[in-house]
């Protein structure tokens, strides 16, 4: 098998392929494994652009079993007491603790008059924490799925709300402002998703892999190599070679051709279908999927700071509410979300720390600037300057403590890992998050083309490491079934 891309889906397809007697090799355009699961070093600081919350850290869950099969677990983990914290300009702090008892007491302190709603909120977390919900919904049998849905029935009302709607029920003005932002500053995020994340955190299934995303990816690559797989780095696939409507190999950027019985692409779906396959294998549905993605505001830029400051007593993630909107990177920001990595000492020199600020912006904003490299670099520097000025309001003296600055944008993602608009590797289709996780039907085949599969975010439409790793497993299971083989995770 030839696999295009060493992201989660590609590496997992490689591992399960090797375990099931297929000889596999991966062609990866970057010089490291992991794709979006990535980090890099700058002057002794590690800048991790990916992981906020890693699911599957408790040996009691099914996602953990997947990570074990992939060589990613067991590993050293760091647990934080809160999912995220929110600070108001006047100094109020809301810690969204994982422990429901601690959370309840803290919220009652902040807003005694919201007692009934606070009780409802923490009880819903307790309901979601009764079972390995994600594991059962994603990987369980029909019966297990039903059992897990039954177990969350007492919290059925939570499915009515998104974060903004739930927040509107608080009477306290600070909580009304802070609560909608708890899921990565996305007020439209479904409330149940937040509950599930909090429940997994309470059950110690959500944690931080010490060393960060690049080391997580490296451990999966190590497992793949140990099973006899090959990864060829700095090898961009340009075309997928087909004969008689079957994928038979790939042509690399340097013109080299390589042949195999099966080709699996973990690369961006649009680029795979439209460029590598010249748009030859599309029906109406796939054509719609491949439409130009909307230029939505999302984490289009990150500001990384290596600071000579101890961050170990700071919250692990913080949303700073701003006293007035500030225009940064072409977008009006009313708040600033950041990760403060004081919980992982391996990411910075002794006594120092890393801050990552995630900025809403657009791909087109940065793409246009990139046409003039000087203007692009100038805007990156200006963006970092504005962010540092805002941080100074909460972290007095930080301006003088900044030692390293790095500002990757969606154009940076595009350069290093392909992806339409950087990391938007998902089809244009209506996606229901709940059914997405429960159903897990992959969009991994193309009409009229045999011996070809897609894995990763395009196939799952989900932005989660475990879901995209699982897609590699599912595709190898399908191939085994097609070949009349019993699928094995043991080799
Ligand atoms: C900012 C950010 C934060 C995130 N935070 C979390 C989190 O906290 N928890 C979580 O679970 N998930 C998180 N995710 C989601 C998760 O990282 C992704 O869903 C997952 O990594 C995607 O895996 P994938 O299999 O789709 O492969 P990708 O990561 O998309 O990898 C595809 C690979 O293919 C390679 N490639 C592309 N084109 C070619 C070509 N032509 N030839 C050769 N190789 C090619 C690329 O270089 C890349 O290595 C986050 C994602 C982002 C972007």
Counting atoms of ligand 1 from 1, which one is nearest the CA of 468?
25
CATH number for the domain spanning 274: value is 3.50.50.60
Q: Is residue 88 part of a domain?
A: no
pLDDT (0 to 100) of residue 110: 98
Question: Residue 333 carries which DSSP code?
Answer: E
Q: Indicate whether residue 29 lines ligand 1 (CB < 6 A).
A: yes
**CB of 423 shorter than 6 A to ligand 1:** yes
Q: Which residue range is the domain that position 109 belongs to?
A: 98-176+189-202
Atom 48 of ligand 1: nearest residue by CA position: 35
- Considering the domain architecture, whether residues 304 and 225 belong to the same structural domain is answered as no
Reading the block at residue 69, the tokens are 């099969």
For 412, the token pair is: 């940076």
pTM above 0.95, yes or no: yes
With contact defined as beta carbons under 8 Å apart, do 25 and 18 qualify?
no
Residue 299 alpha carbon, nearest atom of ligand 1: 1
Burial of 290 (0-12, 13-18, 19+ CB in 10 A): buried
Q: Are residues 302 and 413 in the same domain?
A: yes
Beta pairing class for 263-265 and 452-454: parallel
- Do 355 and 316 fall within a single domain? yes
What atom of ligand 1 comes closest to residue 416's alpha carbon? Answer: 47
Distance 225 CA to ligand 1 centre (A): 20
Task: Quote the crossing angle between the two packed helices 363-370 and 410-417, to the nearest 10°.
Answer: 80
How far, in Å, CA of 319 to CA of 93, rounded?
10
**Helices 191-202 and 115-128: angle between axes, nearest 10 degrees:** 70
Predicted confidence at residue 141, as pLDDT, reads 87
105 token code pair = 């007491």
- 448/337 same-domain check: no
- Does residue 79 fall inside a structural domain? no
Of 369, 398, 417, which marks where a domain is finished? 417
- Write down the pLDDT at residue 491: 83
- Report pLDDT for 439: 61
**Residue 296 and residue 436: Cα distance in Å, rounded?**
21
Please give the distance, rounded to the nearest whole angstrom, from the Cα atom of residue 423 to the centre of ligand 1. 7
Closest CA to 326 of 89, 139, 118: 89
Encode the chain (491 residues) as per-residue pLDDT tens digits. 999 999 999 999 999 999 999 999 999 999 999 999 999 999 999 999 999 999 999 999 999 999 999 999 999 999 999 999 999 999 999 999 999 999 999 999 999 999 999 999 999 999 999 989 888 888 888 888 889 889 999 998 999 999 999 999 999 999 999 999 999 999 999 999 999 999 999 999 999 999 999 999 999 999 999 999 999 999 999 999 999 999 999 999 999 999 999 999 999 999 999 999 999 999 999 999 999 888 787 889 999 999 999 999 999 999 999 999 999 999 999 999 999 999 999 999 999 999 999 999 999 999 999 999 999 999 999 999 999 999 999 999 999 999 999 999 999 999 999 989 988 899 998 766 666 666 667 899 999 999 999 999 999 999 999 999 999 999 999 999 999 999 999 98
Domain boundary (417, 438, 470) is at 417
Residues 6 or more apart whose CB falls under 8 angstroms from that of 145 comprise: 136, 137, 438
Ligand 1 centroid distance, CA of 12 (Å): 13
For residue 263, how far is its CA from the centre of ligand 1 (angstroms)? 19
Same domain (yes/no): 343, 430 = no
On whether residue 435 sits in a domain, the answer given is: yes
The pLDDT value recorded for residue 433 is 62
Check if 207 has its Cβ closer than 6 Å to any atom of ligand 1.
Answer: no
Residue nearest atom 51 in ligand 1 by C-alpha distance? 50
**Could you tell me if the CB of 35 is within 6 A of ligand 1?**
yes
Assess whether 366 and 305 both reside in one domain.
Answer: yes
Q: Give residue for tokens 């191939």.
A: 479
pLDDT for 332 equals 97
Probe target for ligand 1 pocket from 6, 36, 194, 419, with the most ligand atoms within 8 Å of CB: 36
Spacing, Cα 216 to ligand 1 middle (Å): 13
CA–CA separation, 184 and 52 (whole Å): 9
Q: How high is the pLDDT of residue 441?
A: 76
User: Ligand 1 center to residue 34 CA distance, Å?
Assistant: 7
Report CA(165)–ligand 1 centroid distance (Å).
Answer: 31
77 inside domain = no
Distance 384 CA to ligand 1 centre (A): 25
pLDDT at residue 52, rounded to an integer: 96
Nearest residue by C-alpha to atom 49 in ligand 1: 35
State if residue 301 touches ligand 1 by the CB under 6 angstroms criterion: no
In terms of domains, do 407 and 305 share one? yes
Mutation pick for ligand 1 pocket among 37, 184, 234 (CB with most ligand atoms within 8 Å): 37
- Encoding tokens for residue 271? 């680029």
Residue-level pLDDT at 435: 61
Is 11 touching ligand 1 by the criterion CB < 6 Å?
A: no
329 & 248 share domain? no
Nearest to 79 by CA among 213, 195, 204: 204
Residue 391: which CATH number?
3.90.660
Ligand 1 atom nearest the C-alpha of 8 is: 25
Q: Give Cα 86 distance to the centre of its chain.
A: 21
The domain total for the chain is: 3
Q: Which atom of ligand 1 is nearest to the CA of 236?
A: 42
Ligand 1 atom nearest the C-alpha of 12 is 25
Backbone angles phi, psi at 489, to 5 degrees: -105, 5
Query: Which of 360, 384, 417 is the last residue in one of the domains?
Result: 417
Tokens of 25: 């090799």
Counting beta carbons within 10 angstroms of the beta carbon of residue 231, is it exposed (0 to 12), middle (13 to 18) or buried (19 or more)?
A: buried
In this structure, the answer to whether residues 102 and 197 fall within a common structural domain is yes
Burial 166-196 (b: 16+ CB within 10 A, else e): bbeebebebbbbbbbbbbbbbeebbbbbbbb
Measured over the CA atoms of residue 368, residue 370, residue 374 and residue 379, the dihedral's sign is: positive
Strand 263-265, strand 2-4: pairing:
parallel
Which of 266, 408, 454, 462 best tests ligand 1's pocket when mutated (most atoms within 8 Å of CB)? 266
Considering the domain boundaries, does residue 458 fall inside one? yes
| 304 within ligand 1 shell (Cβ under 6 A) | no
């Amino acid at each position: 098998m030839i696999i295009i891309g060493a992201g989660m889906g590609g590496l997992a397809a490689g591992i399960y392929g090797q375990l099931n007697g297929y000889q596999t090799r991966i062609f990866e355009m970057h010089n490291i494994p992991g794709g979006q699961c990535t980090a890099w070093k700058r002057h002794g600081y590690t800048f991790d652009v990916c992981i906020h919350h890693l699911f599957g850290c408790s040996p009691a869950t099914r996602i953990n079993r997947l990570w074990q099969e992939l060589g990613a677990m067991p590993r050293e983990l760091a647990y934080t007491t809160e999912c995220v914290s929110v600070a108001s300009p006047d100094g109020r702090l809301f810690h969204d603790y994982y422990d429901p008892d601690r959370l309840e007491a803290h919220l009652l302190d902040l807003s005694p008059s919201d007692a009934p709603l606070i009780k409802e909120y923490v009880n819903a977390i307790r309901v979601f924490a009764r079972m390995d919900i994600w594991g059962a919904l994603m990987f369980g049998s029909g019966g297990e799925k039903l059992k897990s849905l039954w177990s969350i029935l007492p919290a059925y009302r939570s499915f009515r709300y998104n974060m903004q709607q739930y927040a509107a029920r608080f009477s306290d003005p600070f909580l009304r402002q802070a609560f909608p932002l708890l899921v990565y500053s996305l007020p439209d995020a479904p409330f149940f998703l937040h509950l599930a994340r909090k429940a997994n955190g309470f059950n110690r299934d959500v944690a931080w892999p010490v060393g960060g995303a690049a080391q997580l990816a490296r451990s999966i690559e190590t497992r793949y190599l140990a099973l006899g797989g090959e990864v060829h780095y700095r090898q961009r696939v340009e075309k997928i070679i087909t004969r008689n409507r079957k994928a038979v190999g790939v042509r690399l950027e340097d013109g080299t051709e390589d042949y195999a019985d099966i080709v699996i692409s973990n690369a961006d779906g649009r680029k795979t279908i439209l460029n590598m396959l010249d748009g030859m294998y599309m029906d109406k549905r796939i054509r719609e999927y491949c439409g130009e993605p909307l230029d939505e505001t999302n984490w289009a830029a990150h500001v990384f700071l290596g600071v000579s400051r101890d961050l170990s007593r700071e919250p692990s993630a913080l949303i700073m509410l701003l006293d007035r909107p500030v225009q940064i990177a072409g977008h009006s920001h009313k708040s600033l979300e950041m990760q403060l990595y004081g919980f992982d000492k391996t990411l910075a020199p002794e006594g120092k720390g890393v801050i990552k600020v995630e900025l809403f912006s657009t791909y087109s904003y940065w793409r246009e600037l990139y046409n003039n490299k000087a203007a692009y670099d100038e805007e990156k520097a200006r963006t970092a300057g504005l962010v540092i000025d805002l941080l100074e309001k909460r972290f007095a003296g930080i301006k003088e403590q900044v030692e390293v600055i790095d500002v990757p944008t969606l154009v940076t993602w595009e350069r290093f890992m392909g992806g339409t608009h950087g990391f938007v590797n998902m089809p244009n289709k209506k996606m229901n998050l709940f059914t997405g996780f429960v159903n897990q039907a992959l969009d991994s085949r193309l009409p009229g083309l045999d011996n070809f599969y897609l894995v990763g975010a395009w196939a799952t439409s989900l932005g989660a490491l475990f879901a995209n790793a699982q897609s590699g497993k599912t595709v190898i299971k399908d191939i085994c079934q097609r070949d009349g083989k019993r699928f094995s995770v043991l080799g």
